[in-house]
Structure 1
């Protein structure tokens, strides 16, 4: 898509502004009503990466108005301190994106869907449970951040991790410097030298730390002292009761340490949705689904007709 088909916008969030890009369909007509989709980026990512330039752009070409936004405290959006990854606020961000969409005269408020990648996929699932304006949703290699941080991100010792986070937050409240951690090594080579063998960590590094996916606001950073907010959070809580909208899950069949394959099958089983589908991309990994042509084509080949049917 050319730059003329993207509108850069800001809108009010809780006490700050959110920054977003709106991707418009070809031959866009202000006087028409279009189905719309909210696209949510992964943890540590930004709207200029997979959620925007890959999935939002492709869906717009298929006739949808798509909004890709930066999470609060991240990217070009406001909020302080920076680099907070609080699942409750990330889900709230999706609601504010919908609030903005319904003010646009060319958006059909009764045909709003949602898509998310990695952590954004699980945030989208949780948002759909409590915002009935979302009529259909797609999770692309979705990861339940609460589960992830309780397990591998805390070395399977969440209580000790929370105690350390509490000590750090106390120190920061007393004037110490913020501890902003990088979720990834600086390079694939550096990760391997450090003994990292997990496919997800190494492929994430290859995506975010090289020209393939690197963007100025794709910081892959998190404010350590505030990560305790995710410890008691579960993206799939009450899915058996509240998740009733049409649902599509897309996962690769090469499992990695971030757990998208496992999480995908879990929510597929738990969701109350009468219309639910799981697409397993054979031969593809978690990060292949971010931007690799074959994997993305497979995902969109299922997601586009799904949204076409249910929006």
Structure 2
């Protein structure tokens, strides 16, 4: 089945957000469609799982899907590059909704949000603070603030902040920026340094032909990571998360903590309509693109969207 995709530039604070709009089969510009905003993982881009897997599947199910690149990443604007700042990441969702709710073929009262990995944590936070989203889905969601304080901060968040402060001072005075790669260069290298399933499978996804793309660079500007350490994707979820929520996770936990985060947010949210789907024998990165993981996830996701965004005409 041919897929119709339109690439657009969406006004952001002082730059443009790059996004792909994926249209349903037999799209009719004169009709109103429910829409889903789809967010990519940390260090990823819209051409990876958020667009080419979940975006494509949801468009084929009848939704207008908008997969976008985070500010400072992918084809989106913003300088310096490779910033992973949770406040900007969540703000991006709001600008995307500003744009799509004006499109004549989008029903502004039927917009949902979906995110994968760190994008899932951001999507949940966005749905907590922008009630134009009518429902939210986190696919193997990760709380990037928690991850930054723990594994990414070597379980020494205060020490990490000291290093970031010194590095940012160096850069502010004209020194070279420190861009770190979040993953080993090859699968073989990953297996030499760890047995953690998330690190090894992430390297396979991002560093081989399986998922590698030009903009999926898995890099981060170290000196700008400080904002993440004081951030919590699920802060005030008990009070603010009133939208229907579904989280989908595999039962094979890894070091990035999606299984733990999914359980936590499911338990904490104030949503009266919430569901957690735990897929047996499935790992975090299988949910990026492996049919044996993605297909059962979509079997839960699509009915959830139909329930909360209405049937697709």
- TM bin, normalised by shorter chain, reads over 0.9
Q: Trace 1:210-221 onto structure 2 (pairs within 5 A).
A: 210-221=208-219
Cα displacement (A) at 1:11 = 1.4
Q: Trace 1:130-209 onto structure 2 (pairs within 5 A).
A: 130-193=129-192, 195-209=193-207
Q: What secondary structure sits across from 1:134 in the alignment? A: coil
Root-mean-square deviation (CA, aligned residues, Å) is 0.7
State how far apart, in whole Å, the 1-side matches of 2:85 and 2:154 are.
Answer: 20
Q: Which residue of 2 aligns with 1:66?
A: 65
Q: Which residue of 1 aligns with 2:279?
A: 281
State how far apart, in whole Å, the 1-side matches of 2:282 and 2:5 are.
Answer: 30
Q: Which residue of 2 aligns with 1:9?
A: 8
State how far apart, in whole Å, the 2-side matches of 1:305 and 1:14 are.
Answer: 35
State how far apart, in whole Å, the 2-side matches of 1:102 and 1:225 are.
Answer: 35
Cα displacement (A) at 1:2 = 3.1
Q: Structure 1 length normalisation: TM-score?
A: 0.99
Q: Which residue of 1 aligns with 2:233?
A: 235
Structure 1 unaligned spans of 5+: none
* Residue deviations 1:167-225 (CA, integer Å, cap 9, x gap): 000000001111010000001101222x2111001100000000000000000000000
Q: What secondary structure sits across from 2:295 in the alignment? A: helix
Cα displacement (A) at 1:53 = 0.3
1:255 corresponds to which of 243, 253, 256: 253
State how far apart, in whole Å, the 1-side matches of 2:114 and 2:181 are.
Answer: 26
Q: Trace 1:102-121 onto structure 2 (pairs within 5 A).
A: 102-121=101-120
Q: What secondary structure sits across from 1:48 in the alignment? A: coil
- The question of 1:52 aligning with 2:51 is answered yes
Aligned residues: 309
2:264 corresponds to which of 259, 263, 266: 266
Q: Which residue of 1 aligns with 2:18?
A: 19
Cα displacement (A) at 1:73 = 0.2
State how far apart, in whole Å, the 2-side matches of 1:16 and 1:92 are.
Answer: 13
* Residue deviations 1:222-246 (CA, integer Å, cap 9, x gap): 0000000100000000000010111
State how far apart, in whole Å, the 2-side matches of 1:99 and 1:92 are.
Answer: 11
* Residue deviations 1:108-137 (CA, integer Å, cap 9, x gap): 000000000000000000001110000011
Structure 2 unaligned spans of 5+: none
State how far apart, in whole Å, the 2-side matches of 1:86 and 1:246 are.
Answer: 26
* Residue deviations 1:47-79 (CA, integer Å, cap 9, x gap): 000000000100000010000000000000000
Q: Which residue of 1 aligns with 2:96?
A: 97
Q: Structure 2 length normalisation: TM-score?
A: 0.98
Q: What secondary structure sits across from 2:275 in the alignment? A: strand
Q: Which residue of 2 aligns with 1:306?
A: 304
- The question of 1:222 aligning with 2:220 is answered yes
